Amino acid sequence: MIPISLFEQFIKFGELLLSNPLYLGLFIIFVLLFLFQFLNVKRRNVVVQIFVSVLFLGLMAFVILGYRESILTGLDYLIERLVLNLYFPSFIIYMIVILFSYLIFVYTTFHKKFSSIVKKINTGFFTFIQFLFCVFLIIVITEKIDISSRIAMYQSQDLTMVLQMSMILFLLWLLALVVAYYIKLIRKYFTKKEKLQS
């Protein structure tokens, strides 16, 4: 496979559109929907908004019903890879998780709008995940593990255990944050209703 320029890609894309009337039809429909919505942004016509939304949903339903086998197979494969990366993350995935944990911790610690419960949850999970990260680094250095190869990483049972614990903790942390956010939304909704009524 050789790289091609952006201009050549556009030409090939045009050829692809013209090769099948279905592609051309879909392209025209999407362009029209885009124009409807684009021109309606300032006017804010509710009928147009509903019409465009219904058409988008209809198109998605058509694609899903027509190609549901492929879509289901694709979704199944996606979940398979997600679960594989949850239990056996590559080094890159693990570093992304560590980076995310830093970002979540820093953002929630220094932002005033988060409650003390959320900050305590974040501190607990963040601390433990960072501790596991340090253990991970020590194991990699002492056992001289090649972190560029996923298979080399998982030949060590200790490293496997540390990585799996980190990923499970991170997942639980995200779930806890989602539940806390959801409860906060419900409370906010009912508090707002009370204020309006009183």
Partner 1 sequence: MSTREKIQRNSRGKFIVIGSLLMIFGIALLSFSYFKEKKIQAFETMNLQLSSINQKEETVIEDPPDVENLEEEPVEEPPQEETPAPVVIPYIGTLEIPQINLKRGFVAKDSPYNNINYAITTLPSSTYPDVEKGNFILVAHSGSAAISFFRNLYKLAVGDAAYVEYNNVRYQYRIVNIYYVEKTGSVALRRNYDKTTMTLITCTYQDDTKQTVYILEQESQMPL
Name the site residues for partner 1 (rule: CB under 8 A). 79-80, 83-84, 86-88, 150-151, 154-155, 157, 160-161, 179, 182-183, 186-187, 189-190, 193-194, 197-198
Shortest gap between Cβ of 144 and partner 1 (angstroms)?
Answer: 17
Q: Which is nearer to partner 1, 51 or 154 (CB)?
A: 154
Q: Which is nearer to partner 1, 49 or 156 (CB)?
A: 156
Residue 37 or 90: the one with the smaller Cβ distance to partner 1 is: 90
Which H or E element spans position 97? helix 91-110
Q: Using an 8 Å Cβ cutoff, are 162 and 135 in contact?
A: yes
Q: How far is the CB of 109 from partner 1 (least distance, A)?
A: 26
**Minimum distance from CB of 114 to partner 1 (Å)?**
19
Query: Hey, how many other C-beta atoms are within 10 angstroms of the C-beta on 174?
Result: 14
Provide the minimum distance between the beta carbon of 31 and partner 1 in the complex, in angstroms, as a whole number. 38
Residue 180 CA from chain centroid, whole number:
19
Decide whether 129 or 159 has the Cβ nearer to partner 1: 159
Contacts of 150 (CB under 8 A, 6+ apart): 88, 90, 91
Least distance from C-beta 170 to partner 1, angstroms? 16
Amino acid at 175: L
* Nearest Cα residue to 174 out of 127, 128, 131, 125: 125
Whose Cβ is closer to partner 1: residue 36's or residue 154's? 154
Distance CA 99, CA 107 (A): 12
Four-CA torsion 157, 163, 166, 171, nearest 10 degrees: -110
